[in-house]
Amino acid sequence: MVSQRLINKLNEREIEGCPIKVAVAGTGFIGRGLINQISLMKGIKVVAVANRSVDKAEEVIKQSKIGELSKVCKDEYELNKTIREGKIAIVSNPLLLAESEAEIVVDTTGDVMVGASLALAALNNKKHFIANPETDVTVGPVLSKIAEENGVTFSDQEGDEPGVIMGLHRFARLLGLDIVAAGKFKKFYDKHANPTTVRKWADKLEQNPYKISCFTDGSKMSIEMALVSNATGLVPDIRGMHLPSASLETVTKVLDTKENGGVLSSKGVIDIVFGVEPSGGVYVIATTSHPRIRKDLQYYKMGDGPNYLFYRPYHLCSFEMAVGIARAVIEGDSTIKPLGKPIADVLTVAKKDLFPGDTLDSIGGYSYYGLIDKAETIKEEKLLPIGLAKGVRVIKPIKIDSPITFEDIEIDDTTILWKLRQQYNNML
Whether residue 338 lies inside any domain: the answer is: no
pLDDT tens column, 182-196:
999 999 999 999 999
Domain span at residue 326 reads 4-158+318-331
Averaged over 364-386, what is the pLDDT?
A: 98
Q: What is the per-residue pLDDT across 217-258, written as a single tens digit (0 to 9) for each?
A: 999 999 999 999 999 999 999 999 999 999 999 999 999 999
Mean model confidence pLDDT for the chain: 96
Residues 195 and 251 in one domain: yes
Beta-sheet strands, E only, within 14-158: 20-25, 44-50, 70-72, 88-91, 104-107, 128-130, 154-155
Domain count across the chain: 3
Q: Quick check: is 336 in a domain?
A: no
Is residue 238 domain-shared with residue 261, that is, in the same domain?
yes
Q: What is the pLDDT of residue 95?
A: 97
From the list 127, 157, 159, 126, the residue with the least C-alpha distance to 140 is 157
pLDDT at 67: 59
Q: Confirm whether 154 is domain-assigned.
A: yes
- What confidence score (pLDDT) does residue 1 get? 73
* pLDDT tens, residue by residue, 97-111: 999 999 999 999 999
Report the CATH number at residue 149: 3.40.50.720
Which pLDDT score is estimated for 193? 98
Residues 38 and 86 in one domain: yes
pLDDT over 70 at 140, yes or no: yes
Q: Strand order in 282-287's β-sheet?
A: 235-236, 269-274, 178-186, 282-287, 307-312
> What is the spatial distance between Cα 247 and Cα 254, in angstroms, rounded to a whole number?
9
Q: Which of 264, 298, 331 is the last residue of a domain?
A: 331
- Residue pair 297/308 in contact by the 8 Å Cβ criterion: yes
Amino acid at 53: S
| Residue where one domain finishes, among candidates 303, 331, 359 | 331
Q: What is the pLDDT of residues 49-94, one digit of tens each?
A: 999 999 999 999 988 766 568 899 999 999 999 999 999 999 999 9
pLDDT at residue number 389: 98
What pLDDT does 2 receive?
Answer: 85
The verdict on 352 and 272 lying in the same domain is no
3-state secondary structure of 167: helix
Percentage of the chain modeled with pLDDT above 90: 95
416 and 367, same domain (yes or no): yes
Same domain, yes or no, for 145 and 270?
no
Task: Report whether pLDDT(279) > 70.
Answer: yes
